[in-house]
Amino acid sequence: MIGRRRGAAVAAVAGAAALLAVSARRRFVVVTVQGASMEPTYRSDDRVLVRRGRAPARGEIVVVEQPVVGLGWPAPPVPRGGAPGGLARRDWYIKRVAGAPGDALPAEAGLTAPAPHGRVPDGGYVLLGDNPGKSVDSRQMGLFPRERVLGTVVRVLGR
């Protein structure tokens, strides 16, 4: 009897651990920084932990899907909270949120596209690299849609 209880407890703990691992994989992703657009904050080959699933705020650093200049995005958005399996087949930027929905359009972005009352519209973000001379961001691409934001950088994991 004790052996059965112990076996059931071990099975329950293993099942809970597996469920937690699947949940964590859907909520957190590790991304490697490529390029100099976020220097000095991040350098090429830095690895960062990204939390998926919540809307970022001004000042936070996000990973966002890279559009094709002049064409937009080649594939539908990655489903929020979905399995991260298809993430490796996409190209990603790492940028700082300079304007979130409802914020005034930041002057440094130089956006000329119309926005209601000079504010970032719902579902849009102004994203800028910390190294303007090396960054392709909202200065060239305009607003980035929320559905293309993978998540918010939580911490650096190293190189």
End-to-end CA distance of the chain: 50
Quote the pLDDT of residue 64: 94
Confirm if 28 and 50 have CB atoms less than 8 A apart: yes
Cα within 13 Å of Cα(153), Cβ side: 25
Query: What confidence category does residue 99 fall into, taking pLDDT thresholds of 50, 70 and 90?
Result: very high
H-helix or E-strand spanning residue 50: strand 47-51
Which of 69, 78, 59 is closest to 148 using CA atoms? 78
Q: Check: pTM over 0.85? Answer yes or no.
A: no
Tokens of 151: 């998540």
Average pLDDT, the chain: 81
By DSSP bridging, strand 28-32 and strand 47-51 are antiparallel
pLDDT, tens digit, 9 for 90 and up, residues 24-68: 446 899 999 999 999 999 999 999 999 998 899 999 999 999 887
For residue 98, the one-letter residue type is A
Tokens of 56: 């970022």
